[in-house]
Each structure stands twice: as C-alpha cells, then as structure tokens.
Amino acid sequence: MVVGIHHLCNRVFVTDGSHLETNKSLNPGGRPAGHYTRTARCRPVEPRTGQDPRSEGHAHPRKQETDERERRSQESTVRADPQVPQTGSRIPSSGERTRRAGRRLQGIRSPMLERNIFCCGVILAIVCLNVASGAAIQSAFQATGSNETDVTLEGTKDSCVNRCNQRGVDHRYPCQCCTACTKYNDCCADYTDVCHAKPGISNQELLDWSRDMHDNDINGVADIILSLQSKTKAGDSSDKAPASLFGNLPADVFTGPTVKALIALHDNYEAQVSHRETITDQERAEEDAFLDAIMGTYVMKSAHQFLADRGMVDTDAEKFKKYLHTIWFGMYSRASGVVGSSGFEHVFVGEMKNGISGLHSWVRYALLEQTGSINYLGYINDVLLGVSSMLERPMKWNGVYKPISSIAVAGSPELEIALGTVCFLARPNSLCPLHGSNNNQYHYQTYTLPYKGVTYVGSAYPTV
C-alpha cells in the first residue's frame, strides 16, 4: 500500500486514491472546524505543470464559489481584526504580534486541529508499518523461497494488474486504470481484460470441467511409479532422497504424439533470461506442430469450447490457436529489457533468473533427471489426482537450489496447457480450484505478464 502525503496536516491522501481536503484556517471567517469534503474524482495526486486535464484548465464552479467565499471572509477579518493596522493606526511591533498570537492560540480546543494531528500520526504509523512489513516479506522469501519468486516482471508499469479501479491518476505509470481512463484515452492496454470481468466461471464449473479433463486425458502416461522417499520442507537444501524421483518409467513414456512434439521444443531456448532469444523458422515450425498436435485432442477442444461458451475466446479454432501461440510463445522481457523469455519456456523448459525460475513440466524434469542435471531432494506435498499426481518439492538444477517447485506427474502436455489457459483467463493472478479424476482438489496458480500492450502467461503451475 502506498500512501502519498501532500502538505501533511492540510491534505491527506488515502490508499484508494481519494483524499480529504481540509481548510484549517483559524480565522473566524473560514470553514467551521471539522468541515471536510471527500473528492473521489480521477485526478492527479499532486498538482504539476502540464498535468492531466482532469485537474487543470477551468476551475470547478464549486471551487470558484469556495474561493470567493474565503476571499470575502478574509476581507471581513481584515476589517474586524484589531491586529491589522487601519489608516492612522499604530503598527504593533513584532514582539507584540508574537505575544498576542500566543495568547490567542492558548486554550484553543479545535476539533479540526486535533483530528488533523491524529491523522498525521496515523498516516506516519502506516508508512512505518508498510516499510517494516515489506522488509519482512522480502526476508521471508529469501529465507524459505516460494514456488514462484520471480513474479515481479518486466513491463508491469504498462498493466492494470493489481491497479483496477484506482481513483487517482498515478503519474508513476504511463497509463491509467481508473474508471475515467476511457474518457481521457489513457487506459493501459489490458484495462478491459483485467478490470472488466467477463462472464463469470464459478468454482463448481472449474471443478467439474477439470475432473472431466483428467478423466479423458488419453495422452496421459499411466503406470509411472514415483520414489518419493523422505519428506522435507521449503528452504531445507539437504538431500533427503538418495534415489531418483522417476526410478521406474515405462518404456513408452516419451513416445506419445503430443509428448514428442513437446520434447522437440526443449532445445529452442537459452536458460538465462538475460540472454536475447532468437526464434528461427525451424523453431517456429516446431511451435506450430506442437499446437496442431494438442489442438486435435479432446482435452484442448473441450478447453476451447468451455472458454468460447463464456465469451472469453473466439469461437473460431484457428483464432484460438493463434491466441494460444501469443500468450504461451510470445516473447517478452523478464530482466533488463532483454527479450529473452516466454510463458512456454518458463513453465515447460525452465529458466535462470537469480536462481531457478519456473520448470513445472514433469516431462522436462524426468529427462533432466536421467542426464544427472536434476537432483531430487525429497517432497513437501503430494496430492493424488487419479492417474496423475501433484508434487511439490525442492530441487537442484545444475547445482542451483530452488526451495520449492511443483509438477503434475503423468498428465499430457495438452492437459497442462488447457488447465493453464483456462485458469489464466478465469482466475488470473490467483488460485484456480481444480479436481483430479478421483475428486481430490488442488489448484493452479497463474500469473499474467503485460508487455508492450499484450498480456502473456507469466507463469502457471499446480499447487495444493
């Protein structure tokens, strides 16, 4: 929460962007003590030259009326106040003026003054608490880790994520998310997608649909036996599992049509997000082949129909495929402005950004474990989902430690894309409730990533 303070005891800005305008004049002609007006118009936090027309230009009629009333009040006070010299009067010395002012202020019990002093104390306390809590949160992340610790992404200044319905124009951002932004044509590109709710999808609909997806995932891999070994906890980097997680894989585990199309994409990316990615024609053809393979399955056709029926995607299959390519394979920046990442790379391949970032595909994990690049350290949570299972665990990839990450073992690539896409649209930046084929509940967590006017998949992974 950000609290802006402008002339601290005269005007206090609150977190929702509105503010209290208070006249603290102690002269008899000012507003009565305790009088205030709440202003909730979309306008800048502080006046500045060349600012938004919502706070510049012609003065508001009510403001003109107030100014005129205060001017007359001041003129009346000048005529009545014995301290103000009249024609032919003796001008008091500075010492006399000081003593008189002190006597006049002594004993004043102004409710307005007391309220403003109280507000100043409260605002300063909130600021201190926010600074302290922010440091505590950062320390907690550093100590225990998180399934996703890289959710602060490049390009978020162009987004309305976590900024919807702000009542004040915030000049820290190049675009706005208040309700008046449509009138002044300064909305962020994702204002409609993020701030205007589409036809809702209930939790029960998500649970029923996801159970059907698990039931009909024909390209899922059965008979995978996991060697869970000992339980551990996030932040514990000791190895509590001497054996591999995937100790007994079926011979045909990587031969399914959509699994093979997925594996063909693994070598198309640089792990470091600070390295610029270059997509070749061959790699683009492999992306199209993967999308063609999954779009022919019942799972993806069902996901398309589920979203189209609720007005969230186009009913045309080719347009839906193009949309999938945009949000999953569209490139953006996660570090220093370098275009070196995508939602697909993050989720299905894994990246390096101040440590391990993403890597939520069980296929990728199993292949890396076979080469010795991944070290399984034990498990934190295990949820059986029928044929598949959701597993949260720490890991080391090429010696780099990640305190907690998750995979849904045995599900097909189309199941993971379908669940991630539906939750990306139905429950963006939040937990999305799902059911396995055995009715056990788990969730998908998604993060959106706005970049240059387009909202991409930032991350998507299963969790408890």
Residues with catalytic annotation? 346, 360, 402
* Tokens representing residue 131 in the block: 């600074």
Q: With beta carbons less than 8 A apart as the criterion, state whether 184 and 52 touch.
A: yes
If you count them, how many residues does the chain have?
Answer: 464
